A and B are shown apart, each in its own frame.
Chain A
Amino acid sequence: MNGDSPSEKAVAADLASPRFRVGVKRGHWRQVSYAFPVLIVAVLAIEPDSSSSEYSFRFELTGFPGTAPEVKIWDCATDALLPTGKRLKGSNRVAEAFKSWGSETVYRPWDRHGGTHNNWATAHPVLAWHPKRDLAFVLEDLHGLLTSNAAAHGNRQAA
């Protein structure tokens, strides 16, 4: 890659966008590494016991934004998929999003593989990927899921 491909330009524009940078400034997420087509972002989380933590996600961005990102919950220490037992526990929605399944990506309609599974994206277009979406859209959804345990504890200050 020479850095000038449309996909690389689109990723660069997203990383420089106000929505992405506001998320960083709020402490909701942080960029861990980026070498196109792989971007690693760590996202703030609230554990069931209301303590704060963070989980990393590996975005594979080939063909972005025409092709949806492939997003996996990631273990940066081993550079591999985070084992199921180490993933966030929480509500049914959290469990479904971060479950182990065929493609091993985050199970949400905006994901490259999740979106096409069981009509997921067609049934819920408001969460489906399309080329006008951006990385902040995905990160906002992830942050919402990862901090949803705060609602059970009233621990919104940390989220």
Chain B
Amino acid sequence: MDIEVMVEGEGLTEVETIRIPEGSVAREIAKVVAVKGGFPVEEAILFIEDCEEPIDLAVVVVEEEVGGRVHHVHRARRIDVAVFYQSRQIDKRFAPSTRVQRVLDWAVGPDGFKIDPAIAPEMELALHGQTTALPKNAHIGRYIRHPHHELAFDLIRGIVPNGASL
């Protein structure tokens, strides 16, 4: 029996599903994604979505534990994130498995730009210098490749009708 694992990672543009043999160790997940992403498995670090610390690659994968969780494989342990908004910049370090949503929550929140709660639901993140809102469930690690560990976003307002962006 195989175990299905949902993965994102360096070199992947979307969430994907992979299958590994039952009884495999976590290194097998890292290996499959590293091959897909085009980097050496020896450099791969495995995370669970929105978790800051990597997983021990020697642990045995248990289906009940991986079934509902998206994993992330990257060569960077941390990514230095900068967010720009109205000529201001804030910075924070995140794991590559962090969802765009988490970065957005920080950017609009009390530790970020302190966006008015009435406006905060309108906000989105785009790659710096671009205007397309990023998918909120994407892991930030998909937007950067080792050895680059710095990622910049713009805080923008989402699209509303009548041809305007608020």
State the A residues within 8 Å of B (CB): 18-19, 21-22, 25-26, 28, 90-94, 96, 107, 109, 118-120, 123-124, 126-127, 140, 144, 148-154, 156, 159
Contact = CB atoms under 8 A, between A and B. Distances in A.
A154 B114 CA distance: 12
Given A18-B15, A92-B160, A93-B160, 20 more contacts: A19-B15, A22-B70, A22-B137, A26-B68, A28-B137, A91-B118, A91-B119, A92-B122, A93-B121, A93-B122, A93-B159, A93-B166, A107-B161, A124-B163, A127-B159, A151-B105, A151-B117, A151-B121, A152-B117, A152-B120
Contacts of B6: 18, 21-22, 25
Contacts of A26: 68, 137
Interface string B88-129: 000000000000011011001100000001111111000000
Contacts of B70: 22
Given A25-B67, A151-B105, A140 B121 contact: no
B36 interface: no
B101 A93 contact: no
Interface residue SS majority, chain B: loop
Nearest to B135: A140
B163 A149 contact: no
Interface in B53-73: 67-68, 70
Contacts of A152: 117-118, 120-121
